[in-house]
């Protein structure tokens, strides 16, 4: 083979490889065809029955009465509650999470799941492949050897390269089909403790009993079917559920494979219905243009808006820059933005008009709205909303308010970097 021909073949090969990489990246970065493009107008208040009617039919599962929701704060409350429920399991455990790393809490949780599997409980564990890359394989083997079924969600294969960017970000634990947990907590050492220093994060998780637990189980089933082809059904997974309290609630899901705009639509509908107040804790606040317009429109009709975001302690500097780049118009409109100072604030909490509380895995960013598999719980109960407002305001004591003057005077270096990160904000 002549040098010229060899060079030509190398050029063809490199061109083909670059083209393939470009196609794969484009497939991963592309958002679904269905995309909201117009701002939702304010037609009714959140307390209006029409709001609940539309939320039930447009976002999936109906709002069901008779639930009891308990808020759990930081690892010192969250992990004992989850471990206690697991150790009390008699028939089934279903567990799905994004982050599962090693460390003491990772081992303790794996050992608890393994012990229940050895006792005859049907244990099903679904771990996101990317989110569990740092997990010690010995922990997975421990659970499998005990009889638990453990699967990775979308592991790397040649046939799913176009979906590698679509991860499950859901955090779900259901025990005996009767007790459900959801929130923002992953399994890693930074979630332990009580947010006492920058190495231990501020976060919340929620424990629910009542009819809405069946919707938690259905949400787990959604991705379990995708990963295994198996349906988990029967009375051990979906037992008859009695009233456990007086709260109305529903759990709904979103994924690029179906209903990817559900979370986006929920936030837009909630903001559009607000008449008094919007309180938002967002660990990653990178909303799109529609959300920006909706927030400014809410301010123009007199809604008080308080947004609490991480301060200097954040696990993604790129997210911080992409977020801050677009705060100017919000601040000018009178939106309050507060930065949490003690540690990384990982909460995902939305309270509207002290009527509705939304919690779960969903971040306030384009990735959660359109690329991730997410699960969110909405609770319609004034007493619970007032309690969570007190929690919000307690966190607010540990923040510094960010002003428009501060935003306008931010360093030139940050402004230049923002120009590079804004075009890729959907991937952050």
Indicate which residues carry an active-site annotation: 169, 171, 176, 346, 348, 353
Strand, helix or coil at 359?
Answer: strand
Cβ-contact 255, 166 below 8 angstroms: yes
Nearest to 29 by CA among 366, 314, 271: 366
Distances from the Cα of 417 to the Cα of 45, 134, 338, 428, angstroms: 40, 29, 22, 14
Burial letters for 183-219: b for 16+ Cβ neighbours within 10 Å, e otherwise?
bbbbbbbbbbbebeeeebbbbbbbbbbbbbbbbbbbb
| CA dist., res. 55 & res. 252, Å (int) | 10
| CA dist., res. 315 & res. 70, Å (int) | 28
Nearest to 339 by CA among 317, 305, 307, 315: 307
Q: What DSSP letter does each residue of 262-278 carry, written as one string?
A: HHHHHHHHHHHH-SSEE
| CA dist., res. 166 & res. 28, Å (int) | 7
Nearest to 399 by CA among 326, 317, 343: 343
Backbone φ and ψ of 239, nearest 5°: -75, 165
User: Residue 107: CB partners within 8 Å, gap ≥ 6?
Assistant: 139
What pairing do the DSSP bridges indicate for beta strands 304-310 and 204-209? Answer: unpaired
User: Residue 211: CB partners within 8 Å, gap ≥ 6?
Assistant: 64, 65, 66, 67, 241, 243
User: Residue 346: CB partners within 8 Å, gap ≥ 6?
Assistant: 184, 185, 191, 201, 202, 203, 283, 310
| CA dist., res. 85 & res. 333, Å (int) | 46
| CA dist., res. 125 & res. 383, Å (int) | 34
Number of residues assigned to the chain: 428
């Amino acid at each position: 083979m002549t040098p010229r021909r060899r060079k030509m073949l190398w050029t063809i090969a490199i061109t083909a490889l670059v083209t393939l990489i470009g196609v794969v990246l484009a497939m991963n970065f592309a958002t679904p065809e269905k995309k909201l493009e117009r701002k939702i107008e304010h037609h009714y208040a959140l307390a209006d029955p029409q709001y609940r009617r539309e939320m039930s039919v447009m976002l999936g599962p109906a709002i069901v009465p008779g639930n009891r929701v308990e808020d759990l704060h930081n690892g010192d409350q969250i992990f004992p509650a989850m471990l206690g429920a697991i150790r009390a399991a008699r028939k089934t455990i279903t567990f799905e999470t994004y982050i599962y790393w090693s460390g003491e809490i990772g081992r303790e949780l794996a050992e608890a799941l393994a012990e229940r599997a050895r006792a005859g409980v049907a244990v099903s564990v679904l771990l996101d492949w990317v989110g569990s890359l740092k997990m010690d394989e010995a922990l997975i083997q421990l659970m499998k050897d005990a009889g638990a079924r453990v699967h990775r969600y979308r592991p790397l294969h040649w046939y799913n390269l176009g979906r590698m960017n679509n991860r499950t970000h859901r955090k779900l634990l259901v025990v005996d089909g009767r007790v459900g947990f959801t929130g923002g907590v992953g399994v890693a050492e930074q979630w332990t403790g009580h947010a006492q220093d920058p190495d231990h994060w501020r976060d919340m998780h929620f424990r629910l009993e009542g009819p809405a637990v069946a919707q938690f189980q259905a949400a787990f089933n959604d991705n379990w079917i995708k990963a295994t082809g198996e349906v988990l059904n029967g009375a051990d997974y979906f037992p008859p559920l009695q009233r456990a309290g007086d709260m109305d609630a529903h759990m709904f899901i979103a994924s690029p494979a179906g209903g990817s705009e559900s979370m986006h639509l929920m936030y837009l509908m909630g903001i559009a219905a607000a008449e008094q107040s919007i309180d938002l804790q967002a660990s990653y606040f990178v909303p799109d243009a529609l959300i920006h317009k909706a927030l400014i429109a809410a301010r123009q009709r007199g809604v008080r808006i308080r947004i609490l975001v991480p301060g200097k302690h954040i696990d993604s500097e790129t997210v911080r820059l992409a977020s801050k780049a677009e705060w100017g118009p919000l601040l000018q409109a009178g939106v309050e933005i507060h930065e949490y100072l003690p540690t990384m604030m990982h909460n995902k909490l939305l309270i509207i008009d002290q009527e509705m509380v939304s919690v779960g895995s969903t971040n306030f960013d384009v990735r959660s709205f359109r690329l991730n598999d997410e699960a969110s719980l909405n609770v319609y109960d004034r007493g619970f909303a007032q309690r969570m407002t007190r929690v919000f305001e307690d966190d607010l004591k540990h923040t510094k308010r960010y002003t428009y003057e501060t935003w306008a005077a931010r360093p030139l270096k940050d402004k230049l970097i923002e120009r590079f990160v804004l075009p890729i904000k959907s991937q952050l």
